[in-house]
Structures are given as structure tokens and as C-alpha cells.
Chains A and B, each alone.
Chain A
Amino acid sequence: MRRLTAIVSAGVAVTTIAKPARAQSGLESVIEQYSGARIQGYIQPLADALVANLSIGYINSATSPRKFSFSLEAVAMTAKISESMRMYTAATPDGFQPATHETSTIFGGPAQPVQHSTLPGISYRGADGLVDAEYFPTAAPQLRIGGLAGTEVVIRYASSSMVPFLEDEDFPDLTLWGIGVQHSISQYLKLPIDLSVAASLNSLKFGDIVDLSSTSFGVNVGRSFGLFGVSGGIVSDGGTMNLTYTSTDPDGAGSVDVDLDVKRSVRFRAGAALNFGFIRLFGDAAFGDIVSYAAGLRLGI
């Protein structure tokens, strides 16, 4: 009971840190410069990285406990930003020559203006990359309840005040929630290894302009060797990022409501855990078009 009280208290402490109201962030400032047609290439890598992050970190092991379990976890996920996610071919304004140019995505470096090929004095520039990172992280606490007929349920929630590396002036208010479910198949079969199926549903919002939703599902196998457990499997993830804002782009000024598709992909995942009873340390990685990693600490019974 004392342990349970400590877990709940820690969770309350984490979730009640408050921050003052924010002015317009860097992300909002850059998005509104683009029309709905032009914003996609700039922001798409962020959507891809977020979906890659949000679909992992739910799996501690390939099996679900048969007796009741309850734990609070801190999990951090991070997606590797590849070179192909840093630059994109952007359309210049209608009638501009050249009609396209290579410029920075949100993960790129400083942008350079492009000169009109036949009209001296006419030029156009995109925005600098906002994030200069090898990896794009996401983090959240999560609550895990197991022992429900071989099913484990994980609920995660985070807001701006709980993600210290997202500064007020760079990103609007963050709200993240997710739910993951893992169901043991090996409870029905006599198998030498643990087998389970899993799925998750995630939502992430930045202020009123970015609303990302993603889903994942997969199959996992694994086995425990005393303190140490390993698991592997496949995960399919995908999603949609909706952007709602008012554009100042002369080629498409006004209200913008656009959906960016994060193409569903299949990735291979591998994980390991060190189980010390009340404390468990776990790691997870998914390999595919985007490579993402998760690491977490679990406190619970």
C-alpha cells in the first residue's frame, strides 16, 4: 500500500507543474507563412518522427501478467533524423522561375534565398529549420495496469510542463495522450516463448494548430531469463497530422485546414528489460523507414 501511495503521489507531482501562458511560438510563426499546399514538405518530417516515437515504448515484455499489476512509468522516445528528412523540394510562388528549389525542412539548417532566373531583384526564401537535432525526442509518464484476462493496458499523458526540452518560444502548448493494449496469446497455447498482440492509439496536439493522431498494431515474441527479458516483433504504424491555421502566404492566404498523411509502414522492433521487482528498466527500438528508440523506468507492483 505504501508503494502504491508513493507511485500515485509521484504521478500527481509530475502532472501538476504549471507554466505561464505563452506568446506565439516559433512553430506557429513559421507555419503561418506557408499556404496549405506549401507547408507539407516543411512539416512532414516532424509528423513522421512523432508517429515513429509515439508507436513505441508501450512494450515491456512479450507477455502480459496473469495477476493484477499496477505501475507508473517514465518513458522517453526518440527518432533518428536522417539526412533525407532535412531538405525537401519546395514550390516557389506561382510564376516564379525556377518553379522549385531545395530548402530546409523543420529539421534542416539555415535556408538560402533563391534568385529569380530572369528577373533581377526578385527572390524568395523559405524558413530555417527550427530543430537542430540528430534525434527528435518525445517523453511521457504512463500508467500500466495488467492482469486483466491476460491483457495489459497502458495509458500515457503529457503536457508542456512535463517536457522540459520543448521551450515556450519554440513550440505551442503540448498535449499528448495515448492508450496501448497488449494481449497474451501464449496463455491459450503451449509455446516455448511468449507471444502477444499489441495495439496503440495516440494523439498529440501543439496548441490549436497541430493535431496529430496515430495508430499502431503488432505482434511480439519474447522470453525472460531471470532478471533479464528480451522481446522482438513487428509493428505497423501510421497516422495523420492536421494543421489548422491562418496563412499569410499571398498564393493561399486565409484559413487553412490540411491533413498530412503519415504513410503506414512496417517496422521491426526489439526490446529488452531488466526486472528488479518493484523497479524495471526497459528499452525498445523499431527499425524501418525511421528508426526510433524508447527507454523507460517502471515503478510498480
Chain B
Amino acid sequence: MRALKNTALVVLVAMSGLAAECFEITDPFVVAVNVKDIKNTYNVTPGTITFVPGCITKNPADYIDSNFDIANGAQLVDIIVQTTGTFAGNINGGQVRIGGSTQALQVLVNYSGPWSAFNTPQSLLQNSTGLSLNQAGVTTLLSLIENTSPIVICHSGAFSQAATAGMAIDISIFAQVNASP
């Protein structure tokens, strides 16, 4: 009887050990983290024809939780350009440029077309009329994100006629960075 009890206990302990051995957490465990808040709104000054309104800087704390450990790889998923306000003219040669500083900018996306067409959000993935992506800008953007560096975003372009009141251009960038929690 004692031998049977001992055998039973040994079997139970062995099964528990086996269960623990079979269970492992993926290491490294990589999540494609949605990069947030890489966006900017340019409020157009009435009367403007050519616009170079200056740049804004997104610091790492703005777009990635510091608790993540960045792994190799990042993905650009989409860019969305949207206008608000009423305007009868066109946007000509609109550009979004990005870089690590204002001295090292690359064109990320070019856009042009009737202002009213951009009242509906124009994205690379949907309704992409008038948007074109520049590969050098993509490479720069992904490198900055992977290195959790500050990202400088600049607008430029022109209107076919003088801007009126209440106009704005929104740029949103949807990217992911591979990271471990």
C-alpha cells in the first residue's frame, strides 16, 4: 500500500513538471505596436497662395509607450490627407516632408487635386486619388520610428487661388513598430 501511495505522488509531481515544461512563453514576443499621434493639422491663413507653414516635431514619448523594447522592423500602413473648410480652388504640389531635423527632410507623400476632393479623407489605402508615396521618405520615417527618434513633419504646397477663412489640412500617418512588451 505504501509503495502505491509513493508511486501515486511521484506520478503527480512528474505530471506537474511535465505540464510546466510544455508551456513556454514566446521569447522574444514581438507585437506590432500601433504608432500613435504622428499627425499634424495645418490651419491655413486666409489669403495664402504658397504655403510653407513651418514644421512640428513629434518626440518619441508622443508616439510610443516607453515600456516597449523596440525590436527590428517597422511598417508604414497608411497616410491620410483630409481638408476641412470650403474652398473652390485646388491644391498644387502639396507635400509632407519628414526627417530627424529640418536640415534632413525627405518627401514622404505628394498630393494634389481639388480642395473639395480632399474633404473626403484621401488615404493611400482608400480613395487615394492625388496621393503618391516617396520611397526615400518611407525609409526615413521607418528608421526614425525604429530608433525612437524625434520626427519632424513639414507641410508645403500651393493653392490655385488665395485661401479663404476656415481652411485646414490634416495629415495622419498610420505606422507600426515591432516591439516587445
Contacts and interface: CB of A to CB of B under 8 A. Distances in A.
Interface of A: 23-26, 28-30, 33, 76, 78, 93-96, 109-111, 113, 116, 119-137, 139, 164-165, 167, 169-170, 227, 248-250, 274, 276, 279, 281, 295-297
A128 B31 contact: yes
A33 B33 contact: yes
Contacts of B73: 113, 125
Nearest to B4: A276
Contacts of A281: 8, 11-12
Given A93-B78, A124-B77, A125-B32, A78 B19 contact: yes
A118 to B, nearest CB: 10
Given A125-B176, A135-B23, A250 B78 contact: yes
Contacts of A137: 19-20, 22-23
Nearest to B12: A297
A227 B30 contact: no
Of the candidates A119, A125, A297, the one having the most CB atoms from chain B within 10 angstroms of its own CB is A125
Interface stretch (B89-97, B123-131, B146-154): B123-131
B25 interface: yes
B22 A125 contact: no
Contact of B77 (A123, A131, A167, A227): A123
A295 B17 CA distance: 12
Interface string B29-42: 11111101000000
Q: How large is the interface on B (under 10, 10 to 19, 20 to 34, 35 or more residues)?
A: 35 or more
Given A121-B76, A122-B76, A249-B34, A133 B22 contact: yes
Interface of B is mostly: mixed
Given A29-B33, A125-B178, A134-B22, 17 more contacts: A26-B181, A29-B68, A30-B181, A76-B19, A95-B123, A109-B26, A111-B32, A121-B133, A123-B76, A124-B75, A125-B73, A129-B26, A133-B23, A250-B172, A250-B174, A295-B12, A296-B12
B103 interface: no
Contacts, number: 140
A111 B12 CA distance: 36
4 cross-chain pairs, A with B, having the tightest CB-CB distances, nearest first: A95-B125, A95-B126, A29-B181, A125-B32
B4 A33 contact: no
B20 A164 contact: yes
A106 B30 CA distance: 12
A131 B178 CA distance: 18
B135 interface: yes
Contacts of A122: 75-78, 124-125, 133
A28 B31 CA distance: 11
Contact of A119 (B1, B68, B133): B133
B31 A165 contact: no
Contacts of A129: 26
B138 interface: yes
Contacts of B25: 26, 130-132, 167, 170
B15 interface: yes
Contacts of B20: 137, 164-165
Contacts of B9: 297
Contacts of B78: 93, 95, 122, 250
Contacts of B126: 94-95
